[in-house]
Amino acid sequence: MSTSPAETLATFANPAPQRDFRIHMEIPEFTCLCPKTGQPDFATLILDYIPEESCVELKSLKLYIWSFRNIGCFHEDVTNRILDDLVSATQPRYMQLRARFYVRGGIFTTVVAEHRQAGWTPAPGIPLAAFDSQSPTRD
């Protein structure tokens, strides 16, 4: 597999399609460029999803995320674009992407985008401890 930035996402078969289970990923090294100034923007991406038939393969996700490094994007656009591409590749039951951008001009920006499969509703939850954040930025 390549080690260069790539715009494609690989998937693999969901090993337990009979149940809802949550996949949680933190991607602390996201970088793109400000489309106005050309300055780099840095963010931690937090991806949570419930797969249907396929899951995203991690190395392809890393190379896909890397492909934004030299692209000028507004925070809102890039968050929704990444979510759309991930949904297109995996067709999940549910997916949420939070993009927590580091301070720029004295402002922290967080963009949250969600996708729900038509007709899907989550099973009632059992209150368990949430995942501890591995990111240096906190909610």
- Choosing from 34, 48, 55, 73, the catalytic residue is 34
Give the CA diameter of the chain.
Answer: 48
Annotated ligand binding at 57? The verdict is yes
| Verdict on whether the full-model pTM lies above 0.85 | yes
Annotated ligand binding at 103? The verdict is no
Annotated ligand binding at 58? The verdict is yes
Q: For every one of its 139 residues, what pLDDT tens digit does the chain have, with 9 covering 90 and above? A: 566 778 899 999 999 999 999 999 999 999 999 999 999 999 999 999 999 999 999 999 999 999 999 999 999 999 999 999 999 999 999 999 999 999 988 999 999 999 999 998 887 877 776 666 666 555 5
CA Rg, the chain, in Å? 16
Is position 32 annotated as part of the catalytic site?
A: no
Is position 73 annotated as part of the catalytic site?
A: no
